[in-house]
Every structure is written in C-alpha cells, then in structure tokens.
Amino acid sequence: MSLILTLNAGSSSIKFGLYTAAPEPVEQARGQIDALGAEARLIVEAGGDRNVTAIGPADHATGLAALLEALAPLMAGRPIAAVGHRVVHGGPEIDGPRVLTAELVAYLDTLSPLAPLHQPHNLAGVRAALAGFPGAVQVAAFDTAFHRGHPWVNDTFALPRRFYEAGVRRYGFHGLSYDHIAGRLAADHPDLAKGRVIVAHLGNGASLCAMRGGRSVASTMGFSALDGMPMGTRVGQLDPGVVLYLMEQGMSATEITTLLYTESGLRGLSGITHDMRVLLASDAPEAAEAIAYYTFRLKREIGALAAALGGLDALVFTGGIGENAAPVRAKALEGLGFLGLELDAARNAAQAAKIHAGRVPILVMPTDEERIIARAAAHALLTADGEAPT
C-alpha cells in the first residue's frame, strides 16, 4: 500500500505525519524537524517510541531529505503517492483543499503579505516537496478555507466597499483544527454538532470559532493572524490608532510587524515568556497579570460569539493550552453561568473530556490538523485515480 506524507512547514520547523494511502488514512508515524538552521534535530514518534536525532545544518529541502532517510525503515519500500501541505492562506475564494499546480503556487505566493510569518515558510515546504517527490500528487489544505461561508457582516470591515472587493476582509484561521473538531463532534456528539458550538483553539496561536451545524459563521481572527485573542507572542485585538501612533513616533513597518507578531502577547505582557506552562508555575505578579488578561479576553470572546450565534449549545476547548491548562479554562469560565456554562472543578482539574456541571456541555477535545491534511491528500488520490488508493 502506498503512503501519504503530510507537511506543516514553519520558519524553524516542519511538522510531519506519515499515513497509509487509504480513504481513511492510518497514521504510521508523526513528529517534526526542529530548529531548522545550524543545529536542526529530527523527532520521530512511531509505535509508541520517540526518537530524537541531531541532523546538523538544515533548511527545508535538506531537512526533508533527512526526514525521508529516517522514515525509510517505516516506509519499507512503499512509495509516497501524495504529499499534503498545510497552507495558512488561501485568499477569498478557495473554500477547500486544492491540488497544487505551478499556477496555484504562484497565486499563493501573492498572499504572503497577508500571512508574513506563515505563508512563505509553508510554500518553502511545498517547493521542497515538489522537488523531492516529482511523481506524487501534491495537495494544499488551507486554514482560511473552513471560514469561507461566513455571513457578509462577519466577513467585512466598515471600510469603503472597494477594499472588501480588493480582498481586505475577515478571513479567519486555524481552519484545519476547527474542521477536525467539527468532524469529531459529528461522530461522537451528533446532537451537539447540529447546534450552536463555540470552539476555542488555544495554543501559541489562539482563536475561537462559532459554528452552527458544523459550519463556521464567525471567528475571532480577521484579516491577519493577529486579531482577537492575545497569543504567545502576538498582540491580539488592538485599536488601529495604536499602529498610527507608533508610525507617527517613527517606527517602521518592519519594526511594528516585529512588535505585533513576536514581542507582544503573553511574552510582552509578562516580560518573562510566551509559554503558558511557565507562567502558570511562576510567582511573578507580571505572570499573573498576563494570565488574567488572557483569560479575560477569552471570556469576552466566548460571550461575543455566543451573541453571534444567538445562544450556545456547547463549548469545546482544544489546542495545547485548551487541552492541558485547567486553570486557564477555570478562570475564563468564571461568571459565565448566565450562558449556562458552569464548570465541574474536580473534572476540570482531572483533565476529563467532559468538564461541565451546568446545562451547556463543556468538552475538552484533542485536535489533529495533520489528519485533516492526510484526508485531503487521500481524497485527491481517489479523485485522480477514480478508485480508492491502494
């Protein structure tokens, strides 16, 4: 049976998954190439084992070559039939996965200014895979695609209409994660999946999505991956007048970009770190204040999206912080009883899958973006061949 390789390429890492090429792909291995540059290392998890190997200097292309060498024993001579890629931005029209062509890659490159910390690195992974697997089907799955059905009022800004037509609109991100959660809800909680659900994807990047019937109707992220929740190093919601003020004070576009993307959020508020685990363990008042701001914004976004939905039938936490940081969930849910959100403190502390004590279910669910990418690649193979991949 042939295989599917999934790649989620960032500036300094490449997350990957290896799957059988079946209509429902079966995971064979996963991991990542860490610290691309002078001292890269490869982490491979398979069959319950975790191996870490130093690979020295590596970019996206040489890192991919090292990855394939390490995966060779698991591949056992089976070919890579398809490579699935996470691409953050698909623009205003792309509403699902696409087979990559030279023309599509060129178009996606024009979107790099809309996601400057993600898109160029996603496409570096694409180009490395195109060179490394010239015979494989190459498929892109987009973080923006899940949100393309938004009502116009949730998709626009109050700017002159020509800007909307030119693509200045609310795109939303983390769509692969939300797609996975929508699928798990449909499979495990079908009655909830039909209703009004808020999903909080909380990690180093963070956003919330309001779903009705498993479809996105609103998101806290907007034109860029900066809006909404404060994140590990990203600012979240910000009065645009602050940016105008900084420009008037002499800061360049590059300096402002660095400030908003890499020096703000939890790192900027605390002056300590972007890592929520470290902040929760810290006695520093600045750490407590950073957590207080984060959980206040989380509470506020839950309330806003509940209003957008006209009520709430379930709340789901996912992502590294959402799945693991019980104190963050507890602080954010304080005072939300008027929405039917009441926490079972003991179940929350025990990291249970269901943590509610009130009428509205509160669930903790792991996300799996790589599986969504693998499914997109498997579907492309099925479509191209007219039969299930073997």
Position 121 in a domain: yes
Short-list 6, 1, 5, 8, CA closest to 22: 1
Per-residue model confidence (pLDDT) at position 118: 86
Choosing from 106, 122, 142, the residue where a domain stops is: 142
Q: Do 215 and 356 belong together in one domain?
A: yes
Name the residue type at position 347.
Answer: R
Choosing from 142, 169, 203, the residue where a domain stops is: 142
Domain that holds residue 85: 3-142
Position 372 in a domain: no
332 vs 297: CA distance, rounded Å: 8
Give burial (CB, 10 Å; 0-12/13-18/19+) of 321: buried
Q: Do 252 and 115 belong together in one domain?
A: no
Per-residue model confidence (pLDDT) at position 390: 38
DSSP state of 361: -
Position 376 in a domain: no
Q: Do 121 and 245 belong together in one domain?
A: no
Q: How far is CA 107 from the centre of its chain?
A: 22
Position 285 in a domain: yes
Per-residue model confidence (pLDDT) at position 114: 86
Q: Do 252 and 310 belong together in one domain?
A: yes
- Mean per-residue pLDDT, 62-87: 91
Name the residue type at position 116.
Answer: P
Per-residue model confidence (pLDDT) at position 11: 66
Tokens read off for 193: 């999946």
320 vs 298: CA distance, rounded Å: 15
Whether the CA torsion 111, 115, 121, 126 is positive or negative: it is negative
In this structure, the dihedral spanned by the alpha carbons of residues 176, 375, 138 and 175, taken in order and rounded to 10 degrees, is -10
Catalytic residues: 143
Name the residue type at position 246.
Answer: L
Q: Tokens 């064979």 label which residue? A: 28
40 vs 59: CA distance, rounded Å: 9
Position 159 in a domain: no
Is pLDDT of 386 > 50? no
Q: Per residue in 291-349, pLDDT tens?
A: 999 999 999 999 999 999 999 999 999 999 999 999 999 999 999 999 999 999 999 99
Q: To the nearest whole number, what is the mean pLDDT of the chain?
A: 94
pTM: 0.93
Is pLDDT of 60 > 90? no
Query: How many structural domains compose the chain?
Result: 2
**Cβ within 8 Å of residue 358, ≥6 positions away:** 337, 340, 341, 342
Per-residue model confidence (pLDDT) at position 322: 98
| 178 contacts 201 by C-beta, under 8 angstroms | yes
Q: How confident is the model at residue 385 (pLDDT cuts 50, 70, 90)?
A: low
Q: Do 197 and 137 belong together in one domain?
A: no
Q: Do 133 and 273 belong together in one domain?
A: no
Is pLDDT of 105 > 60? yes
39 vs 57: CA distance, rounded Å: 5
223 vs 279: CA distance, rounded Å: 29
Q: Do 50 and 196 belong together in one domain?
A: no
Position 182 in a domain: no
**Cβ within 8 Å of residue 104, ≥6 positions away:** 98, 140
- String of DSSP letters for 57-115: EE-HHHHHHHHHHHHHHHHTT--EEEEEEEES--TTT--S-EE--HHHHHHHHHTGGGS
Query: 33 has which bridge partners?
Result: 14, 42
Q: Per residue in 202-230, pLDDT tens?
A: 998 999 999 999 999 999 999 999 999 99
Position 322 in a domain: yes
* CATH assignment of the domain containing 285: 3.30.420.40
| 34 contacts 43 by C-beta, under 8 angstroms | yes
Short-list 387, 220, 383, 240, CA closest to 308: 220
Q: Do 138 and 198 belong together in one domain?
A: no
Position 369 in a domain: no
Least confident of 13-22, 121-130, 381-390: 381-390
Q: Do 199 and 329 belong together in one domain?
A: yes
Helices and strands in the chain, H and E counts = 15, 13
Q: Do 247 and 331 belong together in one domain?
A: yes
Is pLDDT of 388 > 60? no
Q: Do 123 and 228 belong together in one domain?
A: no
303 vs 198: CA distance, rounded Å: 10
Choosing from 81, 109, 142, the residue where a domain stops is: 142
- Mean per-residue pLDDT, 185-203: 98
Percent of the chain predicted with pLDDT > 70:
98
Q: Do 125 and 256 belong together in one domain?
A: no
